[in-house]
A and B are shown apart, each in its own frame.
Chain A
Amino acid sequence: MPGKLTTQQRLRIRRQNMPEQDSARRAANFEEVNLGFSEQLALLEADRCLQCKNPRCVTGCPVGVNIPRFIDLLAKGKISQAAQSLLCDNALPSITGRVCPQETQCEVECVRGAKSQPVAIGYLERYVADWARAHRGPPATTTTPPTGKRVAVVGSGPAGLTAAGDLARRGHAVTVYEALHKPGGVLVYGIPEFRLPKKIVAQEVRRLEEAGVKIECNVVVGRTYTLPELRERFDAVFIANGAGLPVFMRVPGENLKGVYSANEYLTRVNLMAAYQFPRTDTPILRGQRVAVVGGGNVAMDSVRTAKRLGAESAAIVYRRTRNELPARTEEVKHAEEEGVQFHFLAAPMEVVGNDKRWVSGLRCLRMKLGAPDPSGRAKPEPIPGSEFLLPCDVVVVAVGTRANPLLTSTCPELKLNRQGNVLVDDNGMTSLPGVFAGGDIVRGAATVILAMGDGKRAARAIDDYLNKSTTI
């Protein structure tokens, strides 16, 4: 009987593996790689949770999901309650269940990890969230009476959506402004279909709309409306417009035909569905040999996309070693299974072109790891005379993004740091009263879940701020 197992029995259950699409097949399609737990697998995995008195996993979660509670309800077969519990803590569980780096957050804290493997919290979250999406009742009528307060949210990515959902639940009238034609931000333009199906994002967005959140696409705050205008029209503003400016390598040849920023490469494929060209209208260069520079999740997304677009070879070029790759372990593993090559300890010096100015290769220098830099990571140092040419016809630059000045430049009173990120206090409030900020515009390029954590904190702070301004 579930829920009646002894600790010994629980300890004997082994971690269940995520069923996956076969690697050879999936490398040629854009369908989701992870297929999700069956009910049987989910219940088995849920029984592995020891229901710790002081659950460390919760402390590892940036949005503080009560993990043991939803797993316990799931294990007892009360999946509807499990879903309620999860949704109460996390506005977008179908998304975080897919893209969170659980191995460095909740799961790394799991006590079971010490002697065997941690509970597959992410897989369980995904299972419960997907069940909730499939078994959605009529939209819950808002129990909180309207406060009459109006909040503008700039950007409909993970931070913006989370804040919008929480604020609407607290009875505030929320309008989200999105610059692109579809809501979702990085969830739509950045993360590929095979990792996060766009249908799921659309469903989560619709759920928020049903909860009363208004989303206006095609509005660029900083152009269509300025921040001062929003401050006049709304009682509070939450800025979550992301870190949308691609960083290039600043090496010769970067403007040759065939060089993409990862942002452009992924936006063409994900937002504009260029992989279906010519059934869709936006084209993309399908390279035979694609080199992706960088070692983060965006680099992995790009290189796996290249493979799916039909590249014979798709390679990562990274200046440190496998151990320093910032990408999630699962993404690296999936990339390897799909036949992606890795060139470690290599730093591009020049993009080489042919006589027609199309990319023909990437000239690199071999590196070795030196002493740790201020971030604690070993600093790559060039090995003199170690130049080599990596032949390729498409280069994707995935070495990071910076803060986009489009909004901030229209409001000079808004205090920024030297990198152009918005400065906030512990509550997420900026130098302007009533204006809050979170996600990548504050942090620089980070993760979906950290942005969601910011959104959640900001919603609480905005609620406090609005309540205070009422009593005054």
Chain B
Amino acid sequence: MSEEIRMFFVHEKPFFNSLIGVEDRTLSRSTVRCCSNNSAGLESLLTLEGLMRHRAIATMLDRSGRIQLCAEMHAILARRQLSPNVTRLDVLAPRIAQIRQPGQFVIVRLQENAERIPLTIADADANAGSIALVIQSVGKSTRELVALKPGESISDLVGPLGHPTEMIESGAALCVGGGVGTAVVHPIAQALARRGVRVASIIGGRSREWVVFEEELRRLGPVEVCTDDGSYGRKGFVTDAARQTLDAGGIDIVYAVGPVPMMRAMANLTRSFGVRTIVSLNPVMIDGTGMCGGCRVSVGNETRFACVDGPEFDGHQVNFDELMDRLSMYREFEQQSIACADGDCRLGQRASSS
């Protein structure tokens, strides 16, 4: 596969040269090799239709100013602000776009010295070779990610990781999303609907502008929106709306993704109805392959690794208190990191040495 790409670039050398602005010298062997180095990134360009498309991407990579790494980068194809602090990035990752399944995630590392961050794949377009990542800006790393503009790129992107979502083949599913968690619920609802499962969704946010993926979910079935302040849809928590739906009966399975307190509340609610409930967990993670064990969670009193055993688990078995507690482990560091990014590294260092 990679061989063909090399051929392609060698063959198209004058064209490629002009794109990346190398005029006086021929492409060095290492540049060519680099370009064909990463099938996950460049396999892609071949599957994309039309030279114009190709030209567009190559040019974008050029503008990032890191030509020698172009093939290993994952270009941002589109960016959309979904709510005040939630951004959708469509990222070039053709292999992952082809094979990803609902519930799976990727780990991204924006650049040298950046953190590795797990992000659920919210959507994918196999033809365009892109995946959608929905990112809530909370710390320095996520802030930098959502600041990316089309044409810029992410240095490292690996996946798809984790187990695909446990599906049902028929019946009715209730999909509950809170805040940015709705983006994680979306691919699950999509896959369920495709199988012919009846999908109803309940999604929530602080207020109207914090509600995401409503339109996408409406295409799959009825959606009830809840806002904390009542500025849109029903005033109150998603659990209130979910209780009514469950009271009415006929729900075979519940998928709930959102902030930990919301998932805990949903699991407590569905437990009383005896309805199986899948939650998607987002603990601190580094490698995503089971190597570090940082993402361990207690499920049914067993220690499980969210990256390889999850990220989705039976919500009735998850120890949410421990999860929430472990998620707070680096809270102080996040502030230092932001302080340092804002130009006050001394403050950051003081805090870290104190």
Which A residues are within 8 Å of any B CB, using their own CB?
173, 175, 179-181, 189, 209, 214-220, 223-224, 233, 244-246, 248, 254-255, 257-258, 260-261, 263-264, 267-268, 271-273, 276-283, 285-286, 310, 357, 404-406
The answer to whether A279 and B340 have CB atoms under 8 Å apart is yes
Provided the pairs A214-B33, A278-B345, A283-B330 are in contact, do residues A233 and B289 lie with their beta carbons within 8 angstroms?
no
Q: Can you add 14 more A-B contacts, CB < 8 Å, to A218-B40, A223-B161, A281-B337? A: A175-B2, A179-B287, A180-B287, A181-B156, A189-B287, A214-B2, A220-B288, A223-B289, A255-B303, A260-B294, A261-B294, A268-B286, A281-B141, A404-B289
Give chain B nearest CB distance to A173 CB in angstroms: 8
Determine which of B303, B333, B337 lies in contact with A248 in the assembled complex, contact meaning CB atoms within 8 Å.
B303
The answer to whether A219 and B353 have CB atoms under 8 Å apart is no
Give CA–CA (A100, B328) in the complex, Å: 40
The answer to whether A179 and B337 have CB atoms under 8 Å apart is no
Chain B residues whose CB sits within 8 angstroms of the CB of A272 once the complex forms: 115-116, 286
Chain B residues whose CB sits within 8 angstroms of the CB of A267 once the complex forms: 286-287, 291-292
Question: Residue of B at shortest CB range from A257?
Answer: B329
Question: Which residue among A216, A248, A268 has the maximum number of chain B CB atoms within 10 Å of its CB?
Answer: A216
Determine which of A209, A215, A218 lies in contact with B157 in the assembled complex, contact meaning CB atoms within 8 Å.
A218
B163-205 contacts to A (CB < 8 Å) = none
Q: Which 3 A-B pairs have the closest CB atoms?
A: A283-B333, A264-B292, A278-B348
Which B residues are within 8 Å of any A CB, using their own CB?
1-3, 33, 37-40, 72, 95-96, 99, 109, 113-116, 140-141, 155-161, 286-294, 296, 298, 303, 308, 322, 325-326, 328-330, 333-334, 336-337, 339-340, 345, 348-349, 352-353
Give CA–CA (A282, B117) in the complex, Å: 10
Determine which of A217, A248, A264, A285 lies in contact with B156 in the assembled complex, contact meaning CB atoms within 8 Å.
A217
Give CA–CA (A258, B303) in the complex, Å: 16
Question: Residue of A at shortest CB range from B297?
Answer: A255
Determine which of A179, A209, A257, A285 lies in contact with B289 in the assembled complex, contact meaning CB atoms within 8 Å.
A179
Chain B residues whose CB sits within 8 angstroms of the CB of A179 once the complex forms: 158, 287, 289
Question: Residue of B at shortest CB range from A209?
Answer: B33
Give CA–CA (A224, B296) in the complex, Å: 23
Give CA–CA (A248, B290) in the complex, Å: 13
Give CA–CA (A218, B37) in the complex, Å: 11
> What are 12 A-B pairs with beta-carbon distances under 8 A?
A181-B109, A181-B116, A214-B37, A219-B39, A224-B160, A244-B289, A255-B296, A263-B292, A264-B294, A310-B353, A404-B289, A406-B289
Give CA–CA (A286, B332) in the complex, Å: 12
The answer to whether B291 and A244 have CB atoms under 8 Å apart is yes
The answer to whether B37 and A282 have CB atoms under 8 Å apart is no
Give chain B nearest CB distance to A154 CB in angstroms: 12
Chain A residues whose CB sits within 8 angstroms of the CB of B291 once the complex forms: 189, 244-246, 263, 267, 404
Chain A residues whose CB sits within 8 angstroms of the CB of B141 once the complex forms: 281
Give CA–CA (A190, B144) in the complex, Å: 28
The answer to whether A263 and B353 have CB atoms under 8 Å apart is no
Provided the pairs A179-B287, A406-B308 are in contact, do residues A281 and B156 lie with their beta carbons within 8 angstroms?
no
Chain B residues whose CB sits within 8 angstroms of the CB of A254 once the complex forms: 303
Give chain B nearest CB distance to A236 CB in angstroms: 17
Chain A residues whose CB sits within 8 angstroms of the CB of B288 once the complex forms: 220
Question: Residue of B at shortest CB range from A310?
Answer: B353
Q: Taking chain A's interface residues, is the majority helix, strand, or loop, or is none over half, making it mixed?
A: loop
Chain B residues whose CB sits within 8 angstroms of the CB of A405 once the complex forms: 290, 308
Question: Residue of A at shortest CB range from B106?
Answer: A218
The answer to whether B38 and A218 have CB atoms under 8 Å apart is yes
Chain A residues whose CB sits within 8 angstroms of the CB of B296 once the complex forms: 248, 255
The answer to whether B114 and A281 have CB atoms under 8 Å apart is yes
The answer to whether B290 and A406 have CB atoms under 8 Å apart is yes
The answer to whether B160 and A248 have CB atoms under 8 Å apart is no
Give chain A nearest CB distance to B184 CB in angstroms: 18
Chain B residues whose CB sits within 8 angstroms of the CB of A268 once the complex forms: 286, 292
The answer to whether B158 and A224 have CB atoms under 8 Å apart is yes
Give CA–CA (A175, B43) in the complex, Å: 14
Give chain B nearest CB distance to A294 CB in angstroms: 14
Question: Residue of A at shortest CB range from B1?
Answer: A233
Question: Residue of A at shortest CB range from B39?
Answer: A216
Give chain A nearest CB distance to B339 CB in angstroms: 8
The answer to whether B156 and A279 have CB atoms under 8 Å apart is no
Give CA–CA (A218, B69) in the complex, Å: 14
Give CA–CA (A261, B295) in the complex, Å: 11
Give CA–CA (A278, B287) in the complex, Å: 20
Give CA–CA (A433, B328) in the complex, Å: 48
Give CA–CA (A245, B40) in the complex, Å: 25
Question: Residue of A at shortest CB range from B286?
Answer: A267
Give chain B nearest CB distance to A175 CB in angstroms: 7
The answer to whether A278 and B352 have CB atoms under 8 Å apart is yes
The answer to whether A279 and B345 have CB atoms under 8 Å apart is yes
The answer to whether B286 and A220 have CB atoms under 8 Å apart is no
Chain A residues whose CB sits within 8 angstroms of the CB of B1 once the complex forms: 233
Chain A residues whose CB sits within 8 angstroms of the CB of B329 once the complex forms: 257-258, 285
The answer to whether A257 and B96 have CB atoms under 8 Å apart is no
Give chain B nearest CB distance to A177 CB in angstroms: 10
Chain A residues whose CB sits within 8 angstroms of the CB of B294 once the complex forms: 260-261, 264
Give CA–CA (A345, B229) in the complex, Å: 60
Chain B residues whose CB sits within 8 angstroms of the CB of A245 once the complex forms: 290-291, 293
Question: Residue of B at shortest CB range from A246?
Answer: B293
The answer to whether A216 and B160 have CB atoms under 8 Å apart is no
Give chain B nearest CB distance to A156 CB in angstroms: 13
The answer to whether A215 and B115 have CB atoms under 8 Å apart is no
Question: Which residue among A261, A280, A283, A357 has the maximum number of chain B CB atoms within 10 Å of its CB?
Answer: A283
Give CA–CA (A181, B109) in the complex, Å: 8
Question: Residue of A at shortest CB range from B155?
Answer: A181
Chain B residues whose CB sits within 8 angstroms of the CB of A248 once the complex forms: 293, 296, 303
